[in-house]
């Protein structure tokens, strides 16, 4: 079975097809009498030359998920993250920061906004890595801070981490806002110039 697959692949390959085309040219030479009595050698030599000069086979390009598919998966992961954040016990001030960040991420992940792969990467990193790690580290550190009083409260670090993540997401929101404002201005100019 494997041998027949290999033979079928070779029969469809560029090398074989180019070799066959050159072999047909050798056969045409033989039919015109230009190849003489050694025409089988000429046909075989032209087939071999064609097979050697043919470009190599290229493997198919991998089919990676598009931006829409990546966003759908990221939205599902965000829903999972929201469920996790709802279960975690957080101080009220930290809970407010988490809610602000959640609202901003939810707005950015809404259909039709993010299409730039770099922005998508930043959002994916925040949802899948940064926010869960920050909250999990807070929960673990808070437990240890009960054992060792007098240490810096872990809430401060979590608040700073959430503020940094919100700033990072706000940059994306600002970029999207600027792009939409520019689009609106361009359309206004177009309409005004069209009516002149």
* Same domain, yes or no: 92 and 132: yes
Number of domains observed in the structure of the chain: 2
* Same domain, yes or no: 25 and 116: no
SS3 state at 62:
coil
* Same domain, yes or no: 82 and 161: yes
* Same domain, yes or no: 115 and 76: yes
* Same domain, yes or no: 150 and 179: yes
pLDDT band at 150 (very low <50, low <70, confident <90, very high): low
Neighbours of 119 (CB within 10 A): 19
- The fraction of the chain above a pLDDT of 70, given in percent, is 94
User: Residue 147: which domain range?
Assistant: 67-194
SS3 state at 54:
coil
> How many residues are present in the chain?
196
Q: What is the pLDDT of residues 105-144, one digit of tens each?
A: 999 999 888 888 899 999 999 999 999 999 999 988 877 6
Residue 146 confidence (pLDDT) above 80: no
pLDDT value of residue 173: 92
Predicted TM-score of the model (pTM): 0.66
* Same domain, yes or no: 91 and 183: yes
Q: What is the pLDDT of residues 22-67, one digit of tens each?
A: 888 888 888 888 877 888 888 888 888 888 888 877 777 888 788 8
CA proximity to 120, closest of 135, 134, 105, 132: 105
- Domain-embedded: residue 35: yes
Q: Which one-letter DSSP state was computed for residue 110? A: S
């Amino acid at each position: 079975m494997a041998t027949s697959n290999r033979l079928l692949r070779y029969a469809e390959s560029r090398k074989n097809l180019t070799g066959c085309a050159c072999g047909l040219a050798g056969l045409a030479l033989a039919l015109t009498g230009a190849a003489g009595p050694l025409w089988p050698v000429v046909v075989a030599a032209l087939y071999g030359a064609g097979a050697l000069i043919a470009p190599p086979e290229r493997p198919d390009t991998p089919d990676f998920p598009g931006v829409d598919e990546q966003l759908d998966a990221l939205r599902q992961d965000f829903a999972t993250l929201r469920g996790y954040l709802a279960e975690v016990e957080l101080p009220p001030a930290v809970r407010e920061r988490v809610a602000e960040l959640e609202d901003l991420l939810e707005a950015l992940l809404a259909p039709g906004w993010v299409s730039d792969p770099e922005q998508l990467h930043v959002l994916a990193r925040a949802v899948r890595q940064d926010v869960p790690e920050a909250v999990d580290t807070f929960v673990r550190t808070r437990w240890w801070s009960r054992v060792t009083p007098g240490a810096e409260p872990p809430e401060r670090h979590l608040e700073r981490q959430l503020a940094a993540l919100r700033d990072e997401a706000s940059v994306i929101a600002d970029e999207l806002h600027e792009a939409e404002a520019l689009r609106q201005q361009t359309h206004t100019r177009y309409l005004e110039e069209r009516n002149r």
